[in-house]
Structure 1
């Protein structure tokens, strides 16, 4: 099942990895700096999540609230730092792939921020509240859900960040086409395998184990895959010989 046009030259791989290592160090510094600022925003963020999900949160340990605050701060650092993270990662590409111009870099970077923000908003407005309320609907007069604040915070930000990332799929596919690693026609032949991968990814990232919420993630993800295939045809990748 070969659909890559070519492997990356080993002589190019080492400089590329070195550039990525340098970018990751800078990303870590920016993320930690923003996380410090995020510590002071933890309370209103938790209040917002509590409001949109309508959950009853409890702390099972003395330090639960403190560690939850740290998790929120780290999540703020990661997500607020995404513009720089994406900038640093995309900036490494033009140096090692001549057919990826500076103009393309700016376009990909801007699009990546829009797609990530769209994924986050989609999750906050639809998937997260709907998924949690669906699970809580199984409460009875004899069974009341008491949700750990630590697990709630981890759960929310894992799902929110996951949605932000999966909305980057079309751009990632277009990037592979742009630098000549794979083309739309060849990748399109393996659509049935892509559907299986999409279902697996959706099963991992979906906020609940039920089929309905699985489809809430798998549906947009498959649509993004198809959009990516269309985008690849216009992204300047290599054509089949």
Structure 2
């Protein structure tokens, strides 16, 4: 008796990825690889700086230690603070040292999607923004910290031991570094707004009174509650805004608007 053959189920069709999905996944893989390289670079520098973590924190705390009264010192209220805080400082310094390589990885990931005229604008602006950020941090370390700490030491009431926790000091330093670093980016922001035709130069000049008021508001938020530190942030902010307006006059946007075909041919 012949045996009945079972019906063979139809094969499932394999789903093929569209070109857009394939491109998206390739970008994700590239982003993952570059993030791993950045983490490895920062980690390698951190391992090299690890033996000198205490010295790095002592260098960071030097402006405060120089302003403390005779016999004054910093304290640690956390059990593991004496270990973790220097490690955080070493990690911060490691990131700053590896920053050129980090920016190179960011540029290598973003550059293929930019037009040639955007590359010509972005590369010098990124380099200038990094330099200005470091200048802002140096301004805070060498000028603002000695002035503010010296003022605090003089206004301390009689009989009060003026000391601070190392964790709170690090938090104060990081906040101040970021505030002054971002403040020194104002000329770059002004140039980008004018160059990309987001805000006309005439409109930015009309905003000058609001910028001055906003500078003092920002200074009141990100600096200690004393007039000296607020002025040392607000005045440079206003001056840097004026510098950005001056530089924006010489960097006018292109006269010819790129058409759709022109943009596609200019890409690379």
TM-score clears 0.5? yes
Cα pair distance change 1:43/1:163, threshold 3 Å: same
For residues 107 and 244 of structure 2, the distance between their equivalents in structure 1, rounded to whole angstroms, comes to 18
Deviation of 1:94 (Å): 8.2
Deviation of 1:212 (Å): 1.9
Which runs of 5 or more residues in structure 2 are unaligned? 1-23, 256-268
Deviation of 1:27 (Å): 8.9
Deviation of 1:215 (Å): 0.6
Deviation string, structure 1 residues 169-224 (Cα, Å, up to 9, x no partner): 10122123223322322222111221222122212222x21122101110001101
| Number of aligned residue pairs | 220
**Conserved 8 A contact 1:37-1:73:** no
Deviation string, structure 1 residues 102-147 (Cα, Å, up to 9, x no partner): 3x33322332232122112111110012112211222344101121
For residues 140 and 227 of structure 2, the distance between their equivalents in structure 1, rounded to whole angstroms, comes to 17
Is 1:210 the counterpart of 2:221? The answer is no
Tell which deviates more after alignment, 43-52 or 215-224.
Answer: 43-52
- TM normalised by structure 1 equals 0.76
Tell which deviates more after alignment, 146-155 or 170-179.
Answer: 170-179
Q: Which structure is larger by alpha-carbon Rg, 1 or 2?
A: 2
Cα pair distance change 1:144/1:196, threshold 3 Å: same
Root-mean-square deviation (CA, aligned residues, Å) is: 3.0
Cα pair distance change 1:217/1:174, threshold 3 Å: same
Deviation of 1:152 (Å): 0.9
Counterpart residue number, 2:262: none
Tell which deviates more after alignment, 25-34 or 221-230.
Answer: 25-34
Does the residue aligned with 1:229 lie in a helix, a strand or coil? helix
Tell which deviates more after alignment, 181-190 or 104-113.
Answer: 104-113
Counterpart residue number, 1:229: 245
For residues 51 and 240 of structure 2, the distance between their equivalents in structure 1, rounded to whole angstroms, comes to 35
Which runs of 5 or more residues in structure 1 are unaligned? 1-14
Is 1:45 the counterpart of 2:56? The answer is yes
- TM normalised by structure 2 equals 0.69
For residues 79 and 177 of structure 1, the distance between their equivalents in structure 2, rounded to whole angstroms, comes to 30
Of 170, 180, 184, 1:167 maps to 184
1:1-241 alignment, distance < 5 Å: 22=31, 25=35, 29=39, 30-31=41-42, 33-53=44-64, 54=66, 55=68, 56-85=73-102, 92=110, 95-96=113-114, 99-102=117-120, 104-206=121-223, 208-237=224-253
Deviation string, structure 1 residues 56-90 (Cα, Å, up to 9, x no partner): 21111221112212321332244334434555666
**Conserved 8 A contact 1:79-1:161:** no
Cα pair distance change 1:189/1:224, threshold 3 Å: same
